[in-house]
Structure 1
């Protein structure tokens, strides 16, 4: 299946896969909400971002080039600004995912400590002589045991399972930010 997917893309002479983006003008590649912002501070059009991300995910670990095709010649300064915008935007996304991953890991560590603390209390309660005399005390001790295991399980699951998607996104955004960018002009 992977081979059929890769055959959908053209390849450069150097063997890199080409992600083609065609538009009339440079302004079409930016979000319409911040028209007055400086080019380097503008957000890329969300459809463009999703398209590039989808293509890069589909391509996998293959090397690729992002090729912007315009209907007419654009200024060198606009091409350079676009190249910088793509780079900076995907570096921003990369950093955003890192922040989310750090927050998730902090949550995991917090749950681990809470679970360990509750488990410690539960162990002491189970060793108490009140355990055999009071049913309410026994129920509370068992409840704390369950709460400790839930907290420890969530911490473990978060650490072992949930961080993988963050790492994949960070790696993907890094690859896109570092991708070569090429420009083509199709005069009518």
Structure 2
């Protein structure tokens, strides 16, 4: 007997593609979630506790000499004091909050989305295609997207509990369907 729990299905250009995941897949999805959560928690905490950490040097120097297609954008960011100050707060606290959310499986899709967004910025900031387009930043971005798509917060995470909370006799996600986009 087969169950729908581990079955994936999508339609592309009028064709339906179906796959079945192994029952151990949940453990690997959990491992990815925990790994990415710890990595971002550690990175954010490190920046917050490092005396004098600033994104200014990174923004000013990262894209200047590597043929980056967004070189002008990074130059503008580095030359705009209010933006550097914003990034000095947004990146470490963002990494810390993304790490906590993903690690504990709370608002996992929202946290993973922002993790993928930051990794996209790092991908372009660290632009170097000497060995191809695939690097660690792109890989982290894709892992964050997989964590979000696979509902990793429901696997030994707080999202599974939050989704079952009842409000007015109705499950939270049923009452507020938009939460399905940030939980999971």
Normalised to the residue count of structure 2, the TM-score between the two structures is 0.30
Larger C-alpha radius of gyration, 1 or 2? 1
Which structure shows the higher helix fraction? Answer: 1
Query: Larger relative contact order (C-alpha < 8 A, sep ≥ 6)?
Result: 1
